[in-house]
Amino acid sequence: MLKVYGIKNCDTVKKALVALDKTKLDYEFIDFKKEKPTKELILKWKDFMKDWPVNTRGPTYRKIKEDFEKATDTKKIALLIEASSAIKRPLIEKNGKPKIAGFDEEAIKKLKA
């Protein structure tokens, strides 16, 4: 089973959901606006991405950028939990393991294998 984390009204997430629907893969969508990300989730994706899972081009990140860059790891996690729109999206997991960060139609097709 796939889990897709993101924000329902995000264009990138919408494209990913359409691509998932085309592949007829079952998934559970977790909306960061309704369910805040956890410390464990953020750290899992940080390990997968080899960096903080942030969307550095997004307006939410730009608002917290100065604080985020100066922050300790603990504070960075707290900032991302509170400003979850700053997290790169979608984040797609298969069987609890991170697989895709951001929209990648080819990678989504490969999830079916």
**What letter would DSSP give residue 93?**
E
Considering its fold, how many domains does the chain have in total?
1
d(CA 17, CA 25): 10
Phi-psi sector, 2: left (phi>0), alpha (psi -120 to 50), beta: beta
pLDDT at 113: 65
Question: Domain range for residue 95?
Answer: 2-110
- As annotated, the active-site residues are 10
CATH number of the domain within which 91 lies: 3.40.30.10
Position 1 confidence tier, pLDDT thresholds 50, 70, 90: confident
pTM above 0.85, yes or no: yes
Q: What is the pLDDT of residues 29-76, one digit of tens each?
A: 999 999 999 999 999 999 999 999 999 999 999 999 999 999 999 999
